[in-house]
Amino acid sequence: MFWYVLKLLILLPLIGGLAWASLKFAKRMEGRFMGGNGAPKSVRIIETQMLSPTLRLAVLEFHGREILVSAGKNGLVRLAEAPARVPVEAEEVQ
């Protein structure tokens, strides 16, 4: 019984630490594998907000337009569209 508890106390934090490290690594590497060849992207994700475990709102920039979409189990649904906002640095220069 003692060996079982000792193994449990050693292996359980080790497995938890490996799971945490793999999630951190995946989040860090997420941007590197999305672009691939370095070509300019036509779609850019501006902001995302999770509403529930299965529903997320996202603001996408596409050809000078900002599009609000809902992403869920059923796919993407366009909710609204507006002209792209001017970046803050560009406003200060003018």
Q: What is the pLDDT of residues 32-80, one digit of tens each?
A: 766 555 667 788 889 999 999 999 999 999 988 999 999 999 899 999 9
Place of tokens 């490996």: 18
Q: Rounded to an integer, what distance in angstroms lies between the CA atom of residue 5 and that of residue 82?
A: 60
pTM of the entire predicted model: 0.52
User: Hey, what are 60's tokens?
Assistant: 């996408």
